Amino acid sequence: MKIVARYDDLAGRRALVTGGSSGIGLGVAEALLDQGAKVAIHYRSNRAAAEALAARHPGRAFPVGADLGTEQGCVRCVADASQALCGLDQLVHSAAIWNEGPIGAITGPQLEEIFRVNTFSAFYLVREALPHLGRGGRGNVIFIGSTAGQRGEARHGHYAATKGALQSLAMSLAVELAPSTRVNVVSPGWVRTPMAEPELRTVGAAIAGALPNRRVGEVEDVVHAVLYLASEASGHLVGEDLCVSGGALLVVPRGQIVAREG
């Protein structure tokens, strides 16, 4: 992954990246380390990937295993991360689960699980990180949201609801925690990650053709947005949601629709 921008102020910063062993979280963890930050790489089951990344950055990267689907797991995650890093300056919350399910098929346990992992974890992680964040007025929280949380998504209503709640939480915390800690969101559209790849193999071409940018997003597209929000280059951005979707939420002009239909 090639990261062009350099943010010198990220050197030495201490960041916890959840979901840091795969997909967007892994890309963020790698990029922060390349910028000179110290990173606690959270994983749930993919321990080998987290340890492999840590081995490439001895003394600056530390694997942290935890189940964020429980309050206790979130408490442990922040405690272990802050101990390994000797403090905490930034939280990038990328860990999430995603699956298809029409409303008629969603069970209570499924709904509860996706909210625990995707939304409740954000409450617990910020609560636990708060005593560390904001010291010196430079605390930073970045949630990885989704365009599904902004416009909804058929057959994924449970997932979309968790991301919509995450966006509302971010706006609330942005006011509550400012000015010592900034809170923002990055909302990707379709991105080629291990989680999305199975479905992209069947609908990827159609999705790309419908986007103004004519391609599905890559992990580095999201990483660039996260690095910008993590840096003081974005110091006046508070409570913002950066949509990284290739224009997926734009209204397509009628002429373009007619041309495609023709």
> Which positions are catalytic?
159
State the Cα torsion 37-7-123-80 to the nearest 10°: 0
Output the six-digit token pair for 239: 């409570």
Q: Is 158 exposed, middle or buried (0-12, 13-18, 19+ CB in 10 A)?
A: buried
Q: Using CB atoms within 10 Å of the CB of residue 190, give its burial: 0 to 12 exposed, 13 to 18 middle, 19+ buried.
A: buried
Rounded distance between C-alpha atoms, residue 169 and residue 116, angstroms: 14
Return the axis-axis angle of helices 23-34 and 47-56, rounded to nearest 10°.
Answer: 10
Is residue 179 packed enough to be buried (19+ CB in 10 Å), middle (13-18) or exposed (0-12)?
A: exposed
For residue 232, give the DSSP letter: G
Q: CA 208 to CA 213: how far, in whole Å?
A: 8
Q: How far apart are CA 179 and CA 221, in angstroms?
A: 28
